[in-house]
Amino acid sequence: EPEVTQTPSHQVTQMGQEVILRCVPISNHLYFYWYRQILGQKVEFLVSFYNNEISEKSEIFDDQFSVERPDGSNFTLKIRSTKLEDSAMYFCASSGKGGRYEQYFGPGTRLTVT
């Protein structure tokens, strides 16, 4: 069964450093998303991406964040200068045109900023 994959599973970085979180969505999906979950809190939407551009973003997704689909398979989230409060689990999700109401999530990347 196709699934969303994410790498790395855990990333530790120092404050101020840049990080890139990687995702491989399900191959025939067209809509891509990043969410995050700070420990003990709700899963929060960051950004959605369709047709090679951002279609919606939340207040959390400020200028420090960017997304890219560099090739036909990867979808990345970059945080330019990490802050302590960026420590969270970051989930990638994707959905397809035919089943666009079904968002499938990857296993997440735990980002720890020290």
Partner 1 sequence: GEDVEQSLFLSVREGDSSVINCTYTDSSSTYLYWYKQEPGAGLQLLTYIFSNMDMKQDQRLTVLLNKKDKHLSLRIADTQTGDSAIYFCAEISLPGNTPLVFGKGTRLSVIA
**Which residues in this chain contact partner 1 in the complex, by CB under 8 A?**
4, 31, 33, 35, 41-45, 48-50, 55-56, 58, 91, 93, 95, 100-108
Beta strand pairing status for 104-105 and 31-37? unpaired
CA angle, corner 83, sides to 81 and 86, nearest 5? Answer: 110
- Which residue, 14 or 52, has its beta carbon nearer to partner 1? 52
> Least separation, in Å, of the C-beta of 20 and partner 1?
19
d(CA 95, CA 27): 10
> Least separation, in Å, of the C-beta of 108 and partner 1?
5
- Which residue, 81 or 112, has its beta carbon nearer to partner 1? 112
> Least separation, in Å, of the C-beta of 72 and partner 1?
19
d(CA 57, CA 39): 21
> Which amino acid is residue 113, in one-letter code?
V
